[in-house]
Amino acid sequence: MDDLPRDPFDALPHYAERLRAEFEPLPHAPDADTCAQLEHEASALLMSLLAIEENAVARSGDDETESGPEFQRLERKLDLVLELLSARLFEASAPSERNVQMSAAGARWALGGSAPAPGSAGIVSIYVHRLLPRALRLPAEVLHDEAGWLRLRFLEVGEACRELLVRHVFQQHRRHLAGTRRAQRTP
């Protein structure tokens, strides 16, 4: 991640959303094998997420598809089942929701307690979509303390995973801007 700024929010698109997230401090930075495994899992999760998002965008542009209303109804039912299943899985194991700001280089959120020391390494887990009951898990480093905020920089993220992160964050950032513009136009 040499070409990304040290601070994950300097000059990078980012978005803010209510997400389930947690940071697990470790006594030392994750080893190369752990980082590779986390990157592989993160890439797979991000590819799934991007496929879901692209499919939703494609569907929103079609009022009447070739498959007709029967297929659309079936698809909405499947979406509901996935959402209910994800909610049930979240109840059992996921961390609590918080206001998370995320960029392709890191994440931050308000702390409810004491912060790990700056420079501490660990694994950040962020549930980036309500239909995916798996967290995006990446090695991360705690940056300087920012008055009650936990500020993290992703570590050891390869080029392919970084590109997927950039696409995800850009889509969310663009969606947020579009929502803001729509809200401003509405009287």
Q: Give residue-wise pLDDT tens across range 62-119.
A: 544 556 778 777 877 777 777 677 667 666 667 888 899 999 999 999 887 777 888 9
Q: Give residue-wise pLDDT tens across range 42-54.
A: 999 999 888 877 7
pTM: 0.76
**CB-facing half-sphere around the CA of 56: CA atoms within 13 A:** 12
**CB-facing half-sphere around the CA of 143: CA atoms within 13 A:** 18
CB atoms within 10 A of CB 133: 17
Give per-residue burial for 136-166: e unless 16+ CB within 10 Å, then b. Answer: bbbbbbbbeeeeeebbbbbbbbeeebbebbb
pLDDT of residue 134: 85
Give per-residue burial for 4-17: e unless 16+ CB within 10 Å, then b. Answer: beebbbeebbbbeb
CB atoms within 10 A of CB 184: 7
Confidence tier at 1 by pLDDT (50, 70, 90): very low
- Rounded Cα distance, 168 and 53, in Å: 9
Q: Give residue-wise pLDDT tens across range 116-132.
A: 888 999 999 999 987 77
Confidence tier at 168 by pLDDT (50, 70, 90): very high
- Rounded Cα distance, 19 and 154, in Å: 17
Confidence tier at 162 by pLDDT (50, 70, 90): very high
pLDDT of residue 39: 95
pLDDT of residue 56: 57
pLDDT of residue 5: 46
